[in-house]
Chain A
């Protein structure tokens, strides 16, 4: 009898050093669990994320990419994340035009929000896993 092997998604996330990455550290300290397929790249500010990186990640096989930073108004570099929001909104529009809108997510996680970080990445992972396995 053939056993169906579940395909696990690969998610690449860009996390800003001062907020999201710190939250992910706290999640680790608190031993919160999230899927192993989620891997982070640390950037000083979410505004460092060039849409070209996201496109590259998608076309090198990432099933999903997320960009996460401080909440608007709380950016450690004061206004960086407002620019992030514009860039990623534009990139999402482009991906949507190509029918790939579910490959990119943008969310805000502050340094204290370890639980929120875990929830967001787990939700994204599960949603993409469902789609990847045709459900």
Chain B
């Protein structure tokens, strides 16, 4: 067996707490290690070339790459083996960055840890065998969940790229939250117009099926071949989809959660959404006093919403500006913690609003008490360090975004994850912000975290583009990590068959052994752990591999 070990410095990310040179030297003494090198950036072109040159020069049949976490550069390193006609599953990635150099400070201890992790890789890889990646056909179709602005954006893109699109929207109308906006900042366009434009374009296309007042009730299958069941007003519909874009939006924060705000107890206390809906119906007395409160339902640990909702400062500015424009004599005071007018033109908008006469007070509002003469805000001015009480004719709460109500249900159906705030979790915050952990399922828009309209539209298009990239070849490769039975060792006790969640194991009455239905196997390995003799084993994670990894981690060195 000829193993090559390649240890990455990752610039100084690994090198600063792991003695990479010492490690590459250390592993040269192992008889099965033919070459052991360390290099600044293995993912760089010269780094990659070093690996391929080594494979060719030494005839390596096992490659260990000790670097960043395996989820990064997944295909890049496997391709290097493919280039040199070595089966890509004879590669073993060892994470000595996210799991070693970045989580420990002591050079000596970290190097010891890295040594063991690499040894674990070395011992484990010794039991690797070449595996076949199966090619499957994929459906050139996509399921888009959510007919809001990001869902429409995704659907349009996919349709234009000749994918069959199934758009599922829970409410009777498309458009989501944007439909209700009278003026979308900064273009000042009417939200309903923006939606109408997208909707009409979508409806004119012949490869889009739109289901309103509908919801997803069942979801099965695997990448490229998902089977979705949609409950529509015209009965149940089953569709085959190659992938999914989840764009179910957000839920506006419900101020009832903070009773001290007094929302619902007095018609003079409204949210920015209420204000939007009221539009011209809003009636205020002469020279009205209006308060606008920022950060409602956001940056609030107490109610479990520590995050910033990103859109509410601009919304608050719009509300303040709107009042000032309609009632030039009004006294408008905005109470904020920080000003986060982040988009392009946002800072100028903030300046503008101040010039129009809106006052900005940095304050924490403790309580809102409706009195007959006015709604009284009890708060503390955090710049002047003063407590105050001020009365207003109208109090506008700039509410934030909460996770969509159905995020748990959808996460359950699709088997994707939620983050701590119950928004959908992306695969990697910087490198894979549109993917989920499940191949073929993408997220778009505010359901993956607060975003404004512009961001949601871009996000929708980006997710759609990624999905298109996966499907446009018409075929895809399936991970070969599925279970296999050794019929000579199988006793036919059928325990694995009973346990199997995917129902992928079938019993042969004549031979009195079981076998695995490859297409259905999910690759969890439950069967392997259930079988006392491991007659059924999960390829890539067989007992000998894991057993030797354990031994390596605990070896007395």
B418 and chain A: residue at smallest CB distance:
A112
Output the nearest chain A residue to B526 by Cβ-Cβ distance. A47
A43 within 8 A of B: yes
Contact B528 A29 (CB under 8 A): no
Q: Is B78 located at the chain interface by the 8 A CB criterion?
A: no
Which stretch of A53-61, A97-105, A127-135 is in the interface? A53-61
Do A32 and B554 have beta carbons less than 8 Å apart? no
Q: Is the Cβ of A29 less than 8 Å from the Cβ of B525?
A: no
What residues on B are CB-neighbors of A72 within 8 Å? none
**A119 interface residue, CB < 8 Å from B?**
no
CB contacts under 8 Å to A, within B474-532, are 481, 499, 501-502, 522-526, 528-530
Could you say which residues of chain B place their CB within 8 Å of the CB of A51?
Answer: 529
Q: Is B141 an interface residue (CB 8 A)?
A: no
CB proximity of A20 to chain B, nearest CB, Å: 12
With an 8 A cutoff between CB atoms, is B177 at the interface? Answer: no
Which residues of chain B come closer than 8 Å to A56, judged between CB atoms? 547, 550
B530 touches A83 (CB 8 A): yes
Using known A-B contacts A45-B526, A50-B543, determine if residue A60 contacts B103 with beta carbons closer than 8 Å.
no
Contact (Cβ within 8 A) A25 B420: no
Flag whether A22 is at the interface (Cβ < 8 A).
Answer: yes
Q: Is A41 a contact partner of B120 (Cβ separation < 8 A)?
A: yes
- B99 contact set on A, CB distance < 8 A: 24-25, 28, 40
Contacts of A78 in B (CB 8 A): 415, 501-502, 522
Residues of B within 8 A of A (CB): 69-71, 95, 97-100, 102-106, 109-110, 112-113, 116-117, 120, 411-412, 415, 417-420, 425, 429, 437-438, 481, 499, 501-502, 522-526, 528-530, 534, 538, 541, 543, 546-547, 549-551, 553-554, 556
Q: A10-B554, A112-B420 are in contact. List 7 more A-B contacts (CB 8 A).
A: A28-B69, A29-B98, A31-B102, A36-B110, A41-B120, A52-B543, A112-B419
Chain B nearest CB from A5 CB (Å) reads 14
Nearest-neighbor residue (CB-CB) of A78 within chain B: B501
Residues of A near B556 (CB, < 8 A) are 61
Q: Contacts A33-B105, A41-B550: A50 and B524 contacting too (C-beta < 8 A)?
A: no
* Chain A residue, CB-CB nearest to B102: A28
Q: Which residues on the A side are within 8 Å of B499 (C-beta)?
A: 83
Bound-state Cα–Cα, A53 to B69, Å:
24
Contacts of B550 in A (CB 8 A): 12, 41, 53, 56-57, 60, 62
Q: Which of A35, A80, A113 contacts B420 (CB 8 A)?
A: A113
Q: In the complex, which residues of chain A have a beta carbon less than 8 angstroms from the beta carbon of B412?
A: 73-74
A44 engages B110 (CB within 8 Å): no
Known A-B contacts A27-B103, A28-B69, A61-B554; A48 and B524 likewise in contact (beta carbons under 8 Å): yes
Q: Which residues of A contact B120 (CB under 8 A)?
A: 39, 41
Which B residues touch A83, using CB under 8 A?
499, 526, 529-530
- How close is B396's CB to chain A, nearest CB, in angstroms? 33
Chain A residues near B429 (CB, 8 Å)? 29
How distant is the Cα of A40 from the Cα of B120 in the complex, in angstroms?
Answer: 10
The distance from the CB of A86 to the nearest CB of chain B, in whole angstroms, is: 10
| Pick from B70, B109, B529, B546: contact of A41, CB under 8 Å | B546
CB nearest neighbor in B for A30 = B102
State the CA gap A113–B422 with chains docked (Å). 12
Cα separation A24 to B522 with both chains bound (whole Å)? 23
CB of A77 within 8 A of chain B? yes
Contact A79 B501, beta carbon cutoff 8 Å: yes
State A111–B415 Cα separation when bound (angstroms): 12
CB pair A22 B525 closer than 8 Å: no
Decide if B103 touches A48 in the complex (CB within 8 Å): no
Other-chain contact of B526, A39, A61, A74, A80 (Cβ < 8 Å): A80
Whether A44 touches B554, Cβ cut-off 8 Å, given contacts A49-B529, A78-B501, is no
Which of A40, A77, A110 touches B522 (beta carbons < 8 Å)?
A77
Q: Which A13-31 residues have a C-beta within 8 angstroms of B?
A: 18-19, 22, 24-25, 27-29, 31
